[in-house]
Structure 1
């Protein structure tokens, strides 16, 4: 796992690899939870929906995708080091748009079918549904998420958004890499202490004040003004953070303080959201509570980055497998969840056994399907992987040797 990033001369950072894998694992757990959390819309809902899940699910929801886009910005910066502008655009387009198109055509369709049948608006019969789906049929209102467009990308919206942000930042690279752009980046990476906690929140808070009251989260790419402003900001933050040793050292130093701050802010946010006077208050008060959530989310991200860098920046045996598996797992997981939900429903396993079986079954099926994807050359690009599997044996040993100095520096940091 110390091999360079694809097309990049920069050595592997084990903590970033681990963080990417853990972030997407959390997305999978979250989507299993969405089946069970009461009063939150999802494609299918369990008869065992629970109110108590709303608290932990909201605590995660305030930063989970922020973390994913921040990591994506980090990856963009690392891959940029080994590519010219047009090569970068071509590489990222292939890695994002091919899995998006394949996923929408092959992986996702069972999701709207199952949702439409559950809603009583689509007749059972998957083959007939596919014929209509691929034929551009119109659907009853509310049949499935995206019914008005006729097709849906469901959980794969992330790939479309990431491609859009990648293209925007690629266009802006001449400015970002100019002298003023480098000064702005250095100003960000030199933030320390309280400034690192507060200054990056200001654009997020401004976005909340100006856009949050006017835009719902739609995931339709066109009408998502508030979400775009937040996620693109975090994407740029990840690009700026990169491998700056001083900033990562500061994240490690602050990790206890930001953990305590995040806990206090989360408790305060929940307390205010539950207060009757806030629920009855006007828009300015609700915006202020939402800004508080922004501060909590950034404190949580700083905490995660600090702890992960402190303890996971080493060549864990599972990282090599995780790096190759995380993308296929992401593409497959939500359809796998819904297939299992439909299969398990007649068994009536109850509110304890069923979630455990669903979670274990999702992991098992994703593992088995990904094992096939990784071994079949023509399947690999359809799931965002290079056509050939990474080198092993002597190639891997040689790559390890190229990063000895980097690993020593990382180990020195971890001992602090």
Structure 2
């Protein structure tokens, strides 16, 4: 396990985790009882446990990876670092909200029977501040939505807070990086547990930025954990050493957590919460430790596909959910069957992301900037130098 100027394991893990979002959001079309922008007619409960298994750590590890990326870029002054991050995040966020995301509320609203067909007129109403019927689409109250791009909004906020608190967080860093053995597998789960106990029921996660204190407490903590972890050789060696322990303990914690949750929902304050909440957060952290430890062991090498993946991940993230919703809007009414339909939606989403990124975005400098890629005249995506995603 070597530490060089390019952390190949983080690059590879970033692409794998963001690719998992495509599978996860496609599966949301078919999960009975789940809240998503489109729903198939082929709903099932069989996806519930696999989805919970992934959902308890999927966004937490995304923010850890974001913190890791920031830790590897903070060699310049705080002001210069912040300006680079604002440039990296703000334009793709604005472009995504204005150009990529609107297809989602349109498809959702038409499918709900509360928006008239006709995308051009919808855009005029959408950006004109029309009062929409209640429940027309996610964000109807505000006449617009950022949907899955909430992550960029939160990441931008956390970056600003990190820069402001950097002197304090630097002094606190040894409390985290000094953890070894069982303490590394348990102690970091205590802060998310405290957030769960004091904030979860009072401030349910809403991705609306305001009054989302539970989500902020969890995700900012993970972001700081990633920043603290950074390129600390001792921590990474310890995560690799403990990878088998974490891999074996995580399913045990998940089983106990699900056992309590089956008695009473974790969203209700009952005696079962005393078991459910600690095991939920312990499982989350053990899963993350296992993923980080195994990825550092297996993925820290210059795979041939990494130069492409480093740059593809950001445009794929911005594009993927709009592609899923649009394909579902077209394909669900055709009733193609519970196998063909999800296969076509998943394959079509990958094809759209690949085609738009490799054949269009990578070749047009203006689009490269809008999707978070640097402008480099005359070079295509596959030939590009490494660039870290958000």
Question: Secondary structure of 2:373's match?
Answer: coil
Q: Does 1:149 align with 2:134?
A: no
Q: RMSD of the alignment, in Å?
A: 2.2
* Superimposed CA distance per residue, residues 49-101 of structure 1 (whole angstroms, 9 cap, x where no aligned partner): 111001100111100000000000001111112x2111111111111111111
Change (3 A) 1:231 1:396: closer
> Which residue number corresponds to residue 360 of structure 1?
347
Q: Does 1:116 align with 2:109?
A: yes
Q: Does 1:224 align with 2:184?
A: no
> Which residue number corresponds to residue 43 of structure 2?
49
Question: Which moves more between the two structures, 368-377 or 184-193?
Answer: 184-193
Mapped partners of 2:377, 2:22: distance in 1 = 25
> Which residue number corresponds to residue 24 of structure 1?
18
Candidates 125, 129, 134, aligned match of 1:132? 125
> Which residue number corresponds to residue 237 of structure 1?
225
1:345 Cα deviation after fit: 2.3
1:369 Cα deviation after fit: 0.2
Structure of higher CA gyration radius = 1
Mapped partners of 1:391, 1:306: distance in 2 = 35
Task: Map 1:320-339; keep pairs closer than 5 Å.
Answer: 320-339=307-326
Question: Secondary structure of 1:200's match?
Answer: helix
1:172 Cα deviation after fit: 1.0
> Which residue number corresponds to residue 166 of structure 1?
159
> Which residue number corresponds to residue 12 of structure 1?
6
Task: Map 1:389-400; keep pairs closer than 5 Å.
Answer: none
Mapped partners of 1:160, 1:187: distance in 2 = 29
Preserved contact between residue 41 and residue 332 of structure 2 (Cα < 8 Å): no
How many residues of Structure 1 are paired with residues of Structure 2 in the alignment?
Answer: 382
Change (3 A) 1:47 1:378: same
Mapped partners of 1:21, 1:104: distance in 2 = 22
Q: Does 1:259 align with 2:247?
A: yes
Q: Does 1:300 align with 2:287?
A: yes
Q: TM-score, normalised by structure 1?
A: 0.88
Q: Structure 1 residue runs of 4+, over 3 Å off?
A: 278-284, 389-392
Q: TM-score, normalised by structure 2?
A: 0.94
What are the ranges of 5 or more consecutive residues in structure 2 without an aligned counterpart? Answer: none
Mapped partners of 1:206, 1:217: distance in 2 = 15
Mapped partners of 2:205, 2:90: distance in 1 = 22
Change (3 A) 1:281 1:225: closer
Q: Does 1:381 align with 2:369?
A: yes
Preserved contact between residue 374 and residue 389 of structure 1 (Cα < 8 Å): no
Q: Does 1:70 align with 2:58?
A: no
Question: Secondary structure of 1:385's match?
Answer: coil
Mapped partners of 2:54, 2:313: distance in 1 = 20
Question: Secondary structure of 2:73's match?
Answer: helix
> Which residue number corresponds to residue 349 of structure 1?
336
What are the ranges of 5 or more consecutive residues in structure 1 without an aligned counterpart? Answer: 5-9, 400-416
Preserved contact between residue 329 and residue 367 of structure 1 (Cα < 8 Å): yes
